Structure 1
Amino acid sequence: MAELMGTPADRLAQQVFRRVRTEGGVAGLARGLGISERQLHRRCLAAFGYGPKMLDRVLRMNAALDRARTGRALAEVAAVSGYADQAHFTREVKALTGLAPKTLLA
Protein backbone atom coordinates (compact mmCIF):
# COMPACT_ATOMS: atom_id res chain seq x y z
CA MET A 1 0.00 0.00 0.00
CA ALA A 2 2.99 2.32 0.49
CA GLU A 3 3.44 2.70 -3.28
CA LEU A 4 -0.07 4.17 -3.56
CA MET A 5 0.85 7.53 -2.07
CA GLY A 6 0.94 10.01 -4.96
CA THR A 7 -2.31 10.75 -6.77
CA PRO A 8 -5.81 11.60 -5.50
CA ALA A 9 -7.07 8.24 -6.80
CA ASP A 10 -4.36 6.54 -4.77
CA ARG A 11 -5.42 8.41 -1.64
CA LEU A 12 -8.96 7.15 -2.22
CA ALA A 13 -7.62 3.58 -2.41
CA GLN A 14 -5.80 4.12 0.89
CA GLN A 15 -9.03 5.35 2.49
CA VAL A 16 -10.91 2.34 1.15
CA PHE A 17 -8.24 0.00 2.51
CA ARG A 18 -8.42 1.61 5.97
CA ARG A 19 -12.20 2.00 6.16
CA VAL A 20 -13.67 -1.02 4.35
CA ARG A 21 -13.86 -3.07 7.58
CA THR A 22 -15.58 -0.35 9.62
CA GLU A 23 -18.03 1.52 7.38
CA GLY A 24 -21.02 -0.82 7.53
CA GLY A 25 -21.04 -2.27 4.05
CA VAL A 26 -20.38 -1.07 0.56
CA ALA A 27 -23.18 1.50 0.59
CA GLY A 28 -21.92 3.07 3.82
CA LEU A 29 -18.34 3.10 2.57
CA ALA A 30 -19.31 4.76 -0.72
CA ARG A 31 -21.43 7.32 1.12
CA GLY A 32 -18.59 8.04 3.55
CA LEU A 33 -16.18 8.57 0.67
CA GLY A 34 -18.62 10.75 -1.25
CA ILE A 35 -18.76 8.52 -4.34
CA SER A 36 -21.31 6.16 -5.87
CA GLU A 37 -21.23 2.41 -5.23
CA ARG A 38 -20.43 1.82 -8.91
CA GLN A 39 -17.53 4.25 -8.78
CA LEU A 40 -16.29 2.61 -5.57
CA HIS A 41 -16.38 -0.79 -7.27
CA ARG A 42 -14.48 0.51 -10.33
CA ARG A 43 -11.87 2.21 -8.15
CA CYS A 44 -11.40 -0.94 -6.06
CA LEU A 45 -11.00 -3.08 -9.17
CA ALA A 46 -8.29 -0.73 -10.41
CA ALA A 47 -6.47 -0.51 -7.08
CA PHE A 48 -6.86 -4.01 -5.62
CA GLY A 49 -7.98 -6.27 -8.45
CA TYR A 50 -11.41 -6.94 -6.96
CA GLY A 51 -14.38 -5.10 -5.50
CA PRO A 52 -14.84 -3.65 -2.01
CA LYS A 53 -16.84 -6.60 -0.66
CA MET A 54 -14.14 -9.08 -1.68
CA LEU A 55 -11.52 -6.77 -0.15
CA ASP A 56 -13.52 -6.83 3.09
CA ARG A 57 -13.68 -10.65 3.01
CA VAL A 58 -9.93 -10.97 2.40
CA LEU A 59 -9.00 -8.49 5.14
CA ARG A 60 -11.32 -10.20 7.64
CA MET A 61 -9.86 -13.60 6.78
CA ASN A 62 -6.28 -12.31 7.11
CA ALA A 63 -7.04 -10.77 10.49
CA ALA A 64 -8.62 -14.04 11.65
CA LEU A 65 -5.65 -16.08 10.45
CA ASP A 66 -3.31 -13.70 12.26
CA ARG A 67 -5.30 -14.31 15.45
CA ALA A 68 -5.19 -18.07 14.88
CA ARG A 69 -1.39 -17.92 14.54
CA THR A 70 -1.21 -16.81 18.18
CA GLY A 71 -2.48 -20.24 19.22
CA ARG A 72 -6.11 -19.34 19.89
CA ALA A 73 -8.73 -22.00 19.15
CA LEU A 74 -10.37 -21.67 15.74
CA ALA A 75 -13.84 -21.41 17.29
CA GLU A 76 -12.68 -18.46 19.41
CA VAL A 77 -10.94 -16.88 16.42
CA ALA A 78 -14.13 -17.22 14.38
CA ALA A 79 -16.26 -15.59 17.07
CA VAL A 80 -13.86 -12.69 17.65
CA SER A 81 -13.43 -12.13 13.91
CA GLY A 82 -17.14 -11.81 13.15
CA TYR A 83 -17.89 -15.22 11.68
CA ALA A 84 -21.08 -17.01 12.74
CA ASP A 85 -19.13 -20.05 13.91
CA GLN A 86 -16.01 -22.10 13.20
CA ALA A 87 -17.68 -23.83 10.25
CA HIS A 88 -18.46 -20.46 8.66
CA PHE A 89 -14.83 -19.41 9.15
CA THR A 90 -13.58 -22.66 7.63
CA ARG A 91 -15.90 -22.35 4.60
CA GLU A 92 -14.82 -18.77 4.02
CA VAL A 93 -11.11 -19.62 4.20
CA LYS A 94 -11.63 -22.54 1.81
CA ALA A 95 -13.62 -20.36 -0.59
CA LEU A 96 -10.91 -17.70 -0.65
CA THR A 97 -7.79 -19.87 -0.60
CA GLY A 98 -8.81 -23.40 -1.53
CA LEU A 99 -7.34 -24.69 1.75
CA ALA A 100 -8.65 -25.32 5.24
CA PRO A 101 -7.45 -22.98 8.00
CA LYS A 102 -5.46 -25.73 9.72
CA THR A 103 -3.61 -26.42 6.47
CA LEU A 104 -2.78 -22.73 6.03
CA LEU A 105 -1.62 -22.48 9.63
CA ALA A 106 0.59 -25.59 9.50
Structure 2
Amino acid sequence: MSNKLNLPPKTVLVCTGSKCGSKGGNNHYKSLRAMTRSAGKKDEVQIIRTACSGNCKMAPLVGIMPKNKWYGQVNNDKVVKLFGKLIKPKSKGKKKPFKIPSTMEKIK
Protein backbone atom coordinates (compact mmCIF):
# COMPACT_ATOMS: atom_id res chain seq x y z
CA MET A 1 0.00 0.00 0.00
CA SER A 2 1.28 3.43 -0.99
CA ASN A 3 1.27 6.41 1.37
CA LYS A 4 1.27 8.82 -1.57
CA LEU A 5 -1.88 10.80 -2.39
CA ASN A 6 -3.13 10.28 -5.92
CA LEU A 7 -4.31 13.78 -6.81
CA PRO A 8 -5.16 15.05 -10.28
CA PRO A 9 -3.24 18.09 -11.58
CA LYS A 10 -6.39 20.26 -11.78
CA THR A 11 -9.18 20.82 -9.28
CA VAL A 12 -12.45 22.71 -9.65
CA LEU A 13 -14.06 24.00 -6.46
CA VAL A 14 -17.79 24.65 -6.68
CA CYS A 15 -19.47 26.49 -3.83
CA THR A 16 -22.71 24.75 -2.91
CA GLY A 17 -23.47 26.76 0.22
CA SER A 18 -27.06 27.92 0.71
CA LYS A 19 -26.86 31.02 -1.54
CA CYS A 20 -24.58 29.54 -4.23
CA GLY A 21 -26.42 26.22 -4.19
CA SER A 22 -29.81 27.86 -4.71
CA LYS A 23 -28.45 30.07 -7.51
CA GLY A 24 -27.08 27.14 -9.53
CA GLY A 25 -24.04 25.88 -7.63
CA ASN A 26 -25.55 22.43 -7.07
CA ASN A 27 -26.37 22.08 -10.78
CA HIS A 28 -22.93 23.38 -11.76
CA TYR A 29 -21.30 20.73 -9.57
CA LYS A 30 -23.37 17.96 -11.19
CA SER A 31 -22.75 19.35 -14.67
CA LEU A 32 -18.99 19.58 -14.19
CA ARG A 33 -18.83 16.02 -12.88
CA ALA A 34 -20.85 14.80 -15.87
CA MET A 35 -18.62 16.70 -18.31
CA THR A 36 -15.47 15.34 -16.62
CA ARG A 37 -16.71 11.77 -16.95
CA SER A 38 -17.94 12.30 -20.51
CA ALA A 39 -14.59 13.76 -21.58
CA GLY A 40 -12.69 10.87 -19.96
CA LYS A 41 -10.76 13.29 -17.72
CA LYS A 42 -11.44 11.83 -14.26
CA ASP A 43 -7.71 11.30 -13.71
CA GLU A 44 -6.85 14.88 -14.75
CA VAL A 45 -9.63 16.98 -13.20
CA GLN A 46 -11.21 16.66 -9.78
CA ILE A 47 -14.54 18.39 -9.06
CA ILE A 48 -15.13 19.25 -5.40
CA ARG A 49 -18.16 20.89 -3.83
CA THR A 50 -17.44 23.25 -0.98
CA ALA A 51 -19.48 24.77 1.82
CA CYS A 52 -20.04 28.52 1.92
CA SER A 53 -17.02 30.48 0.74
CA GLY A 54 -18.25 33.76 2.23
CA ASN A 55 -18.67 35.46 -1.15
CA CYS A 56 -22.46 35.31 -1.32
CA LYS A 57 -22.71 38.55 -3.32
CA MET A 58 -20.92 36.76 -6.18
CA ALA A 59 -23.01 33.56 -6.01
CA PRO A 60 -22.60 31.04 -7.53
CA LEU A 61 -18.82 30.80 -7.24
CA VAL A 62 -16.40 28.44 -9.03
CA GLY A 63 -12.64 28.20 -8.41
CA ILE A 64 -10.01 26.62 -10.66
CA MET A 65 -6.88 25.23 -9.03
CA PRO A 66 -3.87 25.20 -9.00
CA LYS A 67 -3.99 28.65 -10.67
CA ASN A 68 -6.29 30.00 -7.93
CA LYS A 69 -8.67 31.63 -10.44
CA TRP A 70 -12.15 32.35 -9.10
CA TYR A 71 -15.28 33.15 -11.09
CA GLY A 72 -18.45 34.66 -9.66
CA GLN A 73 -22.04 34.81 -10.85
CA VAL A 74 -21.39 31.73 -12.98
CA ASN A 75 -24.22 30.60 -15.26
CA ASN A 76 -24.59 27.39 -17.31
CA ASP A 77 -22.86 28.87 -20.38
CA LYS A 78 -19.89 30.00 -18.31
CA VAL A 79 -19.57 26.55 -16.74
CA VAL A 80 -19.22 25.00 -20.20
CA LYS A 81 -16.66 27.66 -21.25
CA LEU A 82 -14.64 27.18 -18.06
CA PHE A 83 -14.60 23.43 -18.56
CA GLY A 84 -13.52 23.86 -22.18
CA LYS A 85 -10.57 25.99 -21.01
CA LEU A 86 -9.76 23.51 -18.28
CA ILE A 87 -9.45 20.54 -20.63
CA LYS A 88 -8.00 22.39 -23.61
CA PRO A 89 -5.76 20.21 -25.77
CA LYS A 90 -2.04 20.33 -25.07
CA SER A 91 -1.10 20.35 -28.76
CA LYS A 92 -1.20 23.55 -30.76
CA GLY A 93 -3.23 21.83 -33.45
CA LYS A 94 -6.82 22.57 -34.26
CA LYS A 95 -8.95 22.63 -31.13
CA LYS A 96 -12.08 20.47 -31.12
CA PRO A 97 -15.08 22.21 -29.59
CA PHE A 98 -16.36 20.59 -26.41
CA LYS A 99 -19.79 19.02 -26.80
CA ILE A 100 -22.24 19.04 -23.93
CA PRO A 101 -23.03 15.45 -22.92
CA SER A 102 -26.65 14.35 -23.10
CA THR A 103 -26.76 14.18 -19.30
CA MET A 104 -26.45 17.98 -19.25
CA GLU A 105 -29.86 18.29 -20.84
CA LYS A 106 -31.41 16.48 -17.88
CA ILE A 107 -29.50 18.57 -15.33
CA LYS A 108 -30.73 21.93 -16.64
Query: Taking structure 2 as the reference length, what is the TM-score of the superposition?
Result: 0.32
Bigger relative contact order, structure 1 or 2 (CA pairs below 8 A, ≥6 apart): 2
The structure richer in strand per residue is 2
CA radius of gyration, larger in: 1
Q: TM-score, normalised by structure 1?
A: 0.32
| Structure with the higher fraction of residues in helix conformation | 1
